[in-house]
Amino acid sequence: MTTEQSLAYWQAAAADLTIEGRAFINGAYTAAESGETFTCNSPIDGRKLVDVASCDTADVDKTVALARQAFDEGSWANLAPAKRKAVLLRFADLIANHSEELALLETLDMGKPITDALSVDISGTLRAIRWTAEAIDKIYDEVAPTGSDELGLITRQAIGVVAAVVPWNFPLLMASWKIAPALAMGNSVILKPSEKSPLTAIRIAALAFEAGIPAGVFNVLPGFGHTVGQALAVHMDIDTLAFTGSTATAKRLLIAAGESNMKRVWSEAGGKSPNVVFADAPDLDEAAIAAAGAICFNQGEVCTAGSRLLVEDSIADDFIAKVRTAMAAWQPGNPLDPATNVGAIVDEAQLQRVMSYIDKGIEQGANKSVGGKRITAVAGGFYIEPTLFDGVQSAMAIAQEEIFGPVLSVIRFSDEADALRIANDSIFGLAAAVWTSDLSRAHRFARGLKAGSVWVNQYDGGDMTAPFGGFKQSGNGRDKSLHAFDKYSELKATWIKL
């Protein structure tokens, strides 16, 4: 994969791109049963990309029945793990062969910079699928300790039909974290991409089928949350629903599961992650650069965005000045330009949401010292300057609510206890970072943070070997690592009298 192409190269590639908008069901692209579509527009310039199938309950019912049939017939579920691994590795190779096409779809559909789409989203997707595929034939079942006249077996079995509902900010990467372990375990999968960015999910369905995943085992149903998403949530023959998105939606899915068949619901929901900088941080310049990147990367549309910057009083003024300088390097531009590091907000509704929080910050008395304006990087597109608020109090809306945009709230603290209290003063608990040279403080503070991921003297560490998920209202269950397999399997105890 190369990231060295020019703006003209990517614009020409976009002009030549053929985009598929139909659902993928039982091994073939097909229109929605109703024939309904919705328009997919690019946030880069507002232009229409394609009409996308708008699936609903009829499509869900049909697809679940086919997925269940495929599971029961065992064409995938009964394959030896090593054979499923080989197919998933071929799937990854096909994604790699189409990496520029998929990166371009991601950028056109969601607005992220093309360089990030290639180097982060596509490469991360490949890593997720390959790592998961390689792991599946290395997970062993167990034999219980028994007397000589008994044999106790503890085995994992595929759970059945899995629905994966994924967000719009990292459409392909978040999908890969779910579909890879679900497929590797032998399940049938129905992927529901966000209506804001469905195009890469639709495209990889054909690649999965080409790789050898049988018809009915991997399906993609585009549509809206209140139609196809709701139908999946209440369906009586879906065994597991894996979700990444807002906390409000995650709660509704839990209710739907309780009112239907008690399907397992695993969610990675909202975040308001604290990035805590002590005066003894090993390198304040590095910490400031990281703080800027933690809120500006992917336009701040990141569940783990370091949206709360907690700074010790004694260094606050100087450190905030360093952060302002670092943020100056993050400026919105044409996402198809490889030099751009801040792209377009995903759509008009999200842009207005971000702007409303900027207004709230000003109304509630915070000091906006960087950015905060809508700009025209490309005519017809949705662009916001990265924004920094100083003088933020923990009770303010911009410090408590997930904005999902490039808006940084700086909160000052007096000592370690004060910092921990502020860091944990949130309904969320997805991620956090702490910067300090004190080894004992690093361990003590990390232990005290109520967050699923904690990074020390860096922001956004970890790889496929580390589990990812949240505490509190940031969700349950874990993506990535061997722990992800737990979400897509049942444990069975078999006790045999000899």
Give the active site residues: 268, 303
Burial class (CB in 10 A: 0-12, 13-18, 19+), 258: exposed
Amino acid at 460: D
Phi, psi of 450 (to 5 degrees): -95, 80
Amino acid at 303: C
Contact of 310 with 423, CB cutoff 8 Å? yes
Q: How far apart are CA 152 and CA 299, in angstroms?
A: 52
For 306-373, where are the alpha helices, taking DSSP H only?
A: 316-327, 348-363
For 406-497, where are the alpha helices, taking DSSP H only?
A: 416-423, 439-448
What number of H helices and E strands is found in the chain? 16, 24
The helix (H) or strand (E) run that includes residue 23 is strand 23-25
Q: How far apart are CA 212 and CA 27, in angstroms?
A: 10
Contact of 472 with 431, CB cutoff 8 Å? no
Tokens (6 digits) for 371: 């950015």
Phi, psi of 186 (to 5 degrees): 105, 10
Contact of 121 with 107, CB cutoff 8 Å? no
Give Dmax (Cα) for the chain: 77
Q: How far apart are CA 472 and CA 242, in angstroms?
A: 17
Phi, psi of 407 (to 5 degrees): -125, 115
Distances in Å between the alpha carbon of 361 and those of 126, 308, 332, 369, 424? Answer: 39, 13, 21, 12, 21
Contact of 416 with 310, CB cutoff 8 Å? no
DSSP 215-264: TTTEEE----IIIIIHHHHH-TT--EEEEES-HHHHHHHHHHHHHTT--E
